[in-house]
Amino acid sequence: MRIPILYSLSYPERLPNPLPKLNLLEVASLTFEKPKYDVFPCLSLALEAGKTGGTAPAVLNAANEIAVNAFLNKKIKYMDIPKIVEAALNAHPTIHNPSLEQILEADSWARKEAEKAVAQSR
C-alpha cells in the first residue's frame, strides 16, 4: 500500500519511489483459492457484467458505488449491497457497443436507481 499512497499524495506528479521492486521469485509463497461466490456475491455480478459487456459494467460500478457509500453511512446493511447492484443490472437494458454518452447516461441512470433502492431499504 505504500506505493499507492505515495502516488495519491503526489498526484498528478510522481515522487521518486525509494521502495525495492517486487521480485516474485523472492516471495515466500503465494496461495490461490477458488472464489467463494456465496460469500462474495458481488464477484459473480461483476463477472457477469464483464461477460455481458456494453453498458453493464458501468451500471454495476455506479450502483456499487452508491450502495457501498450507503452502507458506510449506515443507511443499509452490508448484504443489501449485492441486492441493490443486482436490481440495477436486472432493470437496465444493456446497450452493446455504446458511445461514451450512452455509458455516462447508464452510469447516471444506475446511480439514480441505486439511490431509490437505498431509500426503499430503510
For the chain, give every domain's residue range.
30-121
Contacts (Cβ under 8 Å, ≥6 apart) of 103: 55, 58
Q: Is 98 left (phi over 0), alpha (psi -120 to 50) or beta?
A: beta
Can you tell me the distance from the alpha carbon of 30 to that of 120, in angstroms, rounded to the nearest whole number?
43
Q: Locate all alpha helices (DSSP H) within the chain, ordered by sequence.
A: 2-10, 41-52, 56-72, 80-91, 100-121
Share of the chain above pLDDT 70, in %: 100
Look over the chain and give the mean of its residue pLDDT values, rounded to a whole number: 93
Does the structural domain 30-121 have CATH classification 1.10.150.120? no
Grid cell for residue 96 = 452493446
* pLDDT tens string 94-112: 999 999 999 999 999 999 9
* pLDDT tens string 71-98: 999 999 999 999 999 999 999 999 999 9
What pTM was computed for the model?
Answer: 0.77
Share of the chain above pLDDT 90, in %: 73
